[in-house]
Amino acid sequence: MYHKEKSIQIKNSASALYNNLGVLRIAPRSLTYFTVVHANVVNMVSASWDGLNYSHRQLQSKEPNVATSTSLIMQAAFCALPSRDLLVVTSQKGIQMYESDGSTMVYWHALDTPDTPTDQAVFARGISAVGKSYICVGDSSGSILVFDVPSKGSNITLSDVLKGHKKSITDIASECSGSQDCIADLISADDGGNLCVWKSGEEFQRFNNIPGFDISCTSVKLWKGTAVAGYGTGQIRLYEAVTGILHAEVNAHARWIYSLDIAPFSGLLLSAAEDSLVRVWHLSIKPESLSVEVAHLHNECVTDTQICGAKFCDGDGHAFAVTGYDLSEIIRYTQS
């Protein structure tokens, strides 16, 4: 169903972090951007669709105007809003936002760090664009920071702090960006496996809480009102987001799931875990019963590699890319 393509070499190896691959498709320029986190650096590659041109860039996590301070990066992800695309980088120190090509930093938000270190790690993690102009970022205390992004320029403001989680945020996802209407358009997950479902707006509303089982939910997606969540038990669960009804449960992997992705136009689901396997599934929603069906389509094994990032490269799921711990390449697969 899929075959392996030529890998993209990156300057450093990928770190063992959840959801460690960012992908942004720039159709007008026939380019795709990829980001992979390595310790305190984000490796960016811009790859032309004809496979002939690759250009690389590295971004360091650091506070502006402080020459030497760096910190470990937890995640880097692209946020595609109707008016603009931004690259958001979250670290132990704070949140940075760049123009999508990584050329300019447009915003910096520092996290509150205690004067004397406590045994609770402090960091930001979980990134998603939502609605017309919002970017949501989670942190280690369980809060979600909501930033209001103007269509141009750097006048980004912190407009809200959502409290719904007590454990560290692991991942945030959204659907229905732009003009579409949804009951709920944002979902967040934490280290206790709890999911919160929200509706964005001038005042964000919390619609639902789907409790976890004390096992981290490491990656979450929202598609047609269905929450798709991956856990440290290697399971994938599909819930109806606003009601919390469990549609399906898959014993998908033998180790912790590190990344999930959905191709929204085709309903293809990608799951990747520390067990070295990437799996492709098909989700179908049955309108009569409003239930969701999960069908397994394909497996890929990346030998001896604990996978940390996997994403579709396009909305149909025609191709996907994978990163692994200690691997200095982005592995790509295309439908045969």
Q: Which residues bind another protein (CB under 8 A)?
A: 12-13, 15-17, 38-41, 67-70, 72, 74, 92, 117-121, 123, 167-168, 170, 191-192, 214-216, 232-235, 245-256, 275-277, 279, 289-296, 299, 301, 303-306, 325-326
Distance between CA atoms of residues 264 and 253, nearest Å: 23
State how far Cα 154 lies from the chain centre: 23
**Residue 47 or 308 having the CB closest to another protein:** 308
Q: Are 156 and 106 in contact (CB under 8 A)?
A: yes
> Smallest gap, in angstroms, from Cβ of residue 237 to another protein?
10
Distance between CA atoms of residues 85 and 87, nearest Å: 7
Q: In this structure, what is the dihedral angle of CA atoms 175, 88, 263, 257, given to the nearest 10 degrees?
A: -100
> C-alpha distances in angstroms, 279 versus 231, 249, 297?
15, 15, 8
> Smallest gap, in angstroms, from Cβ of residue 38 to another protein?
8
> Smallest gap, in angstroms, from Cβ of residue 212 to another protein?
10
> Smallest gap, in angstroms, from Cβ of residue 72 to another protein?
5
Q: Are 92 and 79 in contact (CB under 8 A)?
A: no
> Smallest gap, in angstroms, from Cβ of residue 46 to another protein?
23
CA atoms within 13 A on the CB side of 261: 30
**Residue 200 or 276 having the CB closest to another protein:** 276
149 exposure class (CB count in 10 Å sphere: 0-12, 13-18, 19+): buried
Q: Are 25 and 321 in contact (CB under 8 A)?
A: no
> C-alpha distances in angstroms, 284 versus 55, 249, 281, 292, 316?
38, 14, 10, 6, 14
DSSP code, position 19: T
Q: What is the DSSP pairing of strand 157-163 with strand 143-148?
A: antiparallel
> Smallest gap, in angstroms, from Cβ of residue 221 to another protein?
17
Nearest 5°: CA angle at 156, between 153 and 161? 165
**Residue 180 or 303 having the CB closest to another protein:** 303
**Residue 91 or 200 having the CB closest to another protein:** 91
**Residue 26 or 248 having the CB closest to another protein:** 248
> Smallest gap, in angstroms, from Cβ of residue 84 to another protein?
31
**Residue 80 or 121 having the CB closest to another protein:** 121
**Residue 123 or 147 having the CB closest to another protein:** 123
